[in-house]
Chain A
Amino acid sequence: MAERAALLSAPRRTFVPDRARTLVLCIAFAGALGAIVVAGMMVEPVAMTSDLAQKNLPPSWAHPFGTDQLGRDMLCRTLAGLSLSIVVGLVAAVASALIAVVLGAVAALGGRRADDAVSLLIDLMMGIPHIVLLLLISFALGKGFWGVTIGVALTHWPNLARVMRAEMLQCKQAPYVEAARKLGVGAVRIAWHHMVPYILPQLVVGLVLLFPHAILHEAAITFLGFGLSPEQPAIGIILSESMAYLSSGMWWLAILPGVALVVVVMAFDAVGHGLRRLVDPAHAQD
């Protein structure tokens, strides 16, 4: 009895340290996403070739995702579409994070007027539903790759900008920054030695966690017909084309590409949350 009790209260033994495991998982997921981008670019020619003898086939070993109404292999189309989505998401999320840093800095360091102006801008952006604004911006820019990328970039910064503003305000008021200023250290040096290391972890995590939103919104806006053009093998295009064939029972056109998209989005999310555990002590136990 005594032995048993001792066993039950013994701490769980982990053979791989938690942080190391998180790091490995992050790298593995990031590597998988990179592989999808490369694979998608490589199979793009295959994804565009149609073979009418092979049209409307359900999933099989030769075509794991089936084929569409023009006999194109759906696995190749899905891979090419995911690769395009990841690139759009990457460009848009990086641009969005840059906007967030700049506006956060303006709000935190630029005085009261600047702060008010930025917060009005944030309220305006948050006041219109994302999709409506995204649709308008993409439309104004003539749709296509840049329309949707710029649209996503311009709509996804407000949350991160708020975080950045709060972080910079906190850093600005920190005793060591006060001390540095009193000692006569220049603004550039303070920014580089104190501000940047302070906000960088938050920024990187915020950036990675922007990807899933960016990718989902790209797919949504493309699906509505305001994003990537119909010749491009985008997930939104694949899904909107599939709508015409669903009632005739061709379920694989919609289900499998969608599952692939969900898996990619979840992989990005896992990388983001893993990174947060690694760099942010407050979330280390999540």
Chain B
Amino acid sequence: MRFAVRNIGRFLLLMLLVSLVTFTLVSAAPIDPLQVNVGQAALMQMSDEKRAQLAAFWGADRPMYERYVEWLGAALQGDLGMSLRYNRPVVQVLAERAANTLALMAVAWVLSGVIGFALGVLAGVRKGSWIDRLVRGYCFVLAASPTFWIGLVFLVVFAVNLGWFPIGFSSPIGALSTEVSFVDALHHMALPALTLSLVGVANIALHTREKTVEVMESPYVRYALARGEGMGSIVRRHVLRNVSLPFTTLQFAQIAEIFGGSVLVEEVFSYPGLGQAAVTAGLGGDVALLVGIALFSAALVFGGNLVANLIYGVIDPRMRKEVLHG
């Protein structure tokens, strides 16, 4: 009970701070929302009266704290305001885009976890072998490569030269949303999801390897070897169990990185998700939408950490007491 109350309190505080920070930052920007959204030419032709009217309509003429308090009041009732850029309620834009982004992120998250874990354990068990060197080399190169560049390389190789995958978007160009089949959607998601999954592999594989090496050098594994226990059984009984805990932490902590990566990947593949909306909103000074996206991403990260904390209790009986009653 105390655990739940404390976490809800922390969550609300986090949301409040994130919205305040985002609001302040966007309001501080030396960018005139009128000029960006109407266009220089159209703005010149408008009468002063019309301009003032538009500014009042978008709330560009009032101080920041006044708008923030007003926004906060509405937000508490579930209304996150109107998006300037999309001219629709922010909640609607978020809901529509979040479905695309979450599907992309989920595939990438699972893939990177599974691949990273497998490579890490493999390299750790065979420390010093060619497999270990291969995995480590691969991870170091991967960690040094910018996500969006990997996306570009994939585009050049798989979409342009080999023609296996479409170049962008989440559905065939010109097709109505009702006509898009599940297979089409998967086909369009494959390349972005693959790119995004590479983001996490390096980190997870290297840490898993480190932990696996530690376990393999422990007295209990040495004893098991001396007893004549086979490698498969040692991995199953000792390595996997001990590595699963740090792996859980990493896997849930990488949600933040994968979200960050999705912003870049969506931009490369013109994939209509939250990341692309964030870039559009940012370039257009769309405060309400930016705040909405920042809140969404912060909530996602918070949720990930919370789930990780709960899972510790399931995996490790020693921590059950601490987490639930601490």
Q: Which chain A residues (130-177) contact chain B, with CB distance < 8 Å?
A: 130-132, 135-137, 139-142
Give the segment of B26-34, B179-187, B219-227 that binds chain A.
Answer: B26-34
Question: Contact: A216 with B146, CB < 8 Å?
Answer: yes
B25 touching A225, Cβ below 8 Å? no
Which residues on the B side are within 8 Å of A129 (C-beta)?
Answer: 256-257, 259-260, 263, 297, 301
Asked whether B132 is an interface residue with its Cβ less than 8 Å from the other chain, the reply is: no
Mark out the residues of chain B between 197 and 241 whose CB falls within 8 Å of any chain A CB in the assembled complex.
none
| B-side interface residues, number (CB < 8 Å) | 48
Contact across chains for B156 and A132 when beta carbons are under 8 A apart: no
Query: How would you classify the secondary structure of chain B's contact residues: helix, strand, loop or mixed?
Result: helix
Contact of A258 among B21, B152, B279 (CB under 8 A): B152
Given A135-B282, A258-B146, A223-B267 contact (CB < 8 Å): yes
Check A225–B146 contact: CB distance below 8 A. Answer: no
- Let me know if B267 and A224 touch, CB within 8 A: yes
Whether A132 and B21, one on each chain, are in contact in the complex, defined by CB atoms closer than 8 angstroms, is no
Q: Which residues of B contact A223 (CB under 8 A)?
A: 146, 148, 264, 267
Cα–Cα distance between A243 and B160 once the two chains are bound (Å):
12
- B248-282 vs A: 1/0 string, CB under 8 Å? 00000000110111011001100000000011001
Which residue in A225, A239, A249, A269 is a CB contact (below 8 Å) of B149? Answer: A239
B153 in complex: contacting residue of A220, A247, A254, CB < 8 Å: A254
Binds B, one of A6-14, A47-55, A120-128: A120-128
B98 nearest CB across to chain A (Å) = 14
Residues on the B chain within 8 Å of A255, using CB:
152-153, 156
Q: Verify A226–B263 contact, CB threshold 8 A.
A: no
The answer to whether B147 and A220 touch across the interface, beta carbons within 8 angstroms, is yes
- Name B129-168 residues within 8 Å CB distance of A: 140-141, 143-149, 152-153, 155-156, 160-161, 167
Given the complex of chains A and B, what is the CA–CA distance between A243 and B149 in angstroms?
10
- With a CB–CB cut-off of 8 A, which chain A residues contact B26? 136, 139-140
For the complex, give the distance between the alpha carbons of A251 and B156 in Å: 6
- B258 CB to closest chain A CB, in angstroms? 9
How far apart are the CA atoms of A254 and B148 in the complex, in Å? Answer: 10
| CA distance in complex: A139, B155 (Å) | 28
Residue of B148, B160, B167, B257 with highest tally of chain A CB at under 10 A: B148
Supply 6 further A-B pairs (C-beta < 8 A) apart from A139-B25, A224-B264, A265-B145.
A129-B301, A135-B263, A136-B294, A140-B26, A225-B283, A246-B155
4 nearest A-B pairs in the assembled complex, by CB-CB distance? A131-B260, A258-B149, A140-B25, A265-B144
